[in-house]
Amino acid sequence: KPFKRLLLTGAAGGLGKVLRDRIKPWADVVVLSDIADMGEAREGEEIVQCDLADKAAVMKMMEGVDAVLHFGGISTENTFENIMQANILGTANIYEAAHKKGVKRIVFASSNHTVGFYRNTDYIDAAAPTRPDSFYGVSKCFGEQLASYYWDRTGLETVSLRIGSSFPEPKDRRMMVTWLSYDDLVEALRRSLFATRVGFTILFGMSDNEVAWWDNSKASHLGYKPKDSSSQFDANFPDSGEYPDKNASVTYHGGAFALAEVRYKD
C-alpha cells in the first residue's frame, strides 16, 4: 500500500464516517482521530481520541505518520472562541506536529466559505482574494495561509480542498452548484495525495455540475476529473426564473452563511 500510516482527523464526523472505509486501500494503518467517540478500531485502524487544541496529544498522534487528511474541527459558524480553539489552534498544532515529525503532505479540508461573499454572478479561480463569510470561513483562510507558510518555509506540501457541499444529495438550489458527491470527494483526495508535486495548491471541491462558480484550472496538475453531476437532481430544485432570486441564500457563494441572520451572536 502507498502509505504505512495515514492520519484522518475528524473521523467521527459526517465526512469522516464516509472516508473511514474508503481510504483503507491507501495505508497499512489508518490512524483515526476525533474529540468524539469513534467506536472500536477495526482491522488496519488505530484510534486516537483527543482535542486538536491539545498540542502534546497531536504531537504524539503524528508519530510515524506519512500523510494527513485534516478534516477535524468545527464545521459551521460558531463563537470566535470555539473556532479559535478547534480550527485555528487545532490546525496550527497539526502543521507544527506534521513538520516536526517529517510528514510529507497534508490535504486540508478547507471550505467554500473562504470565498463565501462572492456573488453568484462571480466566476473565480484560486487566485481570487479570499472573502470569508463567517468566523468559520476566516479560520479556513488561516488554515490555507498556514499551508502556504509551511510549504515555503519547510517544504511540507498541502492541497487545500475548498469543499463546496459534500452530502449524499444537494439539499437546495444553491447546492446544485456547490455539490460534491462522495465518490468525487474520494477521487479529489486520491489525486491530492498521489499527484507527484503539489506544493501549495488550492482545489475547489465540486462535482461536474451544470453551473459552476469556481474554475479549477490552477489545479490542473492534479488531474482531478469529477464524474458525477448534480443534474441528476434537477427535478428536485427547479429554477424560480426570477432575478434577483427571492431565495436570498443563492445570492452568495456561501449561501446562508453570508446572510446577516447567520452572524453568530453570543
Burial of 194 (0-12, 13-18, 19+ CB in 10 A): middle
Helical spans, DSSP H, in 49-208? 55-61, 80-83, 90-100, 135-154, 175-178, 182-194
Report what 178 binds from ligand NAI, ligand 15L, none; CB cut-off 5-8 Å by kind.
ligand 15L
Give the cell for residue 85: 480553539
Which of 90, 132, 170, 254 binds ligand NAI (CB under 6 A)? It is: 90
Considering CB distances under 5 to 8 angstroms, the limit depending on partner class, which of ligand NAI, ligand 15L, none binds residue 72? ligand NAI
Q: Which amino acid is at 150?
A: Y
Cα 127 to the center of its chain, rounded Å:
18
Question: Binder to ligand NAI among 48, 106, 163, 195 (CB under 6 A)?
Answer: 163
The residues of the shown chain that bind ligand 15L, judged by CB under 6 A, are: 75-76, 111-113, 165, 178, 255
Q: Is 216 exposed, middle or buried (0-12, 13-18, 19+ CB in 10 A)?
A: buried
Minimum Å distance from CB 149 to ligand 15L? Answer: 22
Sheet strand arrangement including 27-34: 45-49, 27-34, 3-9, 67-70, 105-111, 157-163, 200-205
**Which residues in the chain belong to E strands, given as ranges?**
3-9, 27-34, 45-49, 67-70, 105-111, 124-125, 157-163, 200-205, 214-215
Positions 8 through 27 that interact with ligand NAI (CB under 6 A): 10, 12-16
Q: Binding to ligand NAI by residue 73, rule CB under 6 A?
A: yes
Query: Which grid coordinates belong to 126?
Result: 484560486
**Does the footprint of ligand NAI cover residue 132 (CB under 6 A)?**
no
Among 57, 59, 74, 259, binds ligand NAI (CB under 6 A): 74
Angle of the 14-22 helix axis to the 182-194 helix axis, nearest 10: 60
Residue 149 designated active-site: no
- Start-to-end CA span in the chain (Å): 48
Give which of ligand NAI, ligand 15L, none residue 170 binds (C-beta under 5 to 8 Å, depending on kind). none
Of the two residues 2 and 14, which places its CB atom closer to ligand NAI in the complex? 14
Using CB under 6 A as the binding rule, whether residue 103 contacts ligand NAI is answered as no
Which of 35, 195, 219, 222: binder of ligand NAI (CB under 6 A)?
35
Longest pairwise C-alpha distance within the chain: 55
**Judged by CB, which is closer to ligand 15L: 191, or 253?**
253
**Which of 95, 118, 136, 224 is labelled catalytic?**
136
**Between 9 and 178, CB nearer to ligand 15L:** 178
Residue with cell 462572492: 118
36 binds, among ligand 15L, ligand NAI, none (CB under 5 to 8 A by kind): ligand NAI
Task: List interacting residues with ligand NAI (CB under 6 A).
Answer: 10, 12-16, 34-36, 51-53, 71-75, 86, 90, 109, 111, 163, 165-167
Instruction: Give the residue numbers marked as catalytic.
Output: 136
